[in-house]
Amino acid sequence: MSAFEQPLYVSRRTPTSLWQEYRIFPDRLELQAWILFHTVVILAREIQAIEVRRSFFSGRKGFAWGIKLDNSDLCRHVLVTRKSGFWKRFAFTPDDPDEFVRVCQSII
């Protein structure tokens, strides 16, 4: 981890994401989390699954159990499942969930 390392993808800050930023680096994800008062770092080798989920209002598979970093249940969002750790599932809303998942799958 270098302080000058350029991310592969940076999600724009939006009201849906509560103005948080989500970044993908070649070896990790960095998920800014105001609610947890720090940035969650998930190493690429620790990612078990990543998927785009629908909103809670769309019916099945919309609600996500786990830590919600923003308004993820209210719109299309990304759900990341880690292999280990106290909290294994994180739901968050990048500006383009499909592109975020595509780029993330390229590093795992």
Q: Where are the domains of the chain?
A: 11-107
Q: What are the pLDDT digits (tens) for 28-66?
A: 999 988 877 889 999 999 999 999 998 877 666 656 678
Nearest to 22 by CA among 3, 6, 36, 41: 41
Averaged pLDDT, 97-108? 95
Those residues whose C-beta lies under 8 Å from the C-beta of residue 27, and which sit 6 or more positions away, are: 1, 43, 44, 107
Global confidence as pTM: 0.87
- Is the domain 11-107 a CATH 3.40.50 member? no
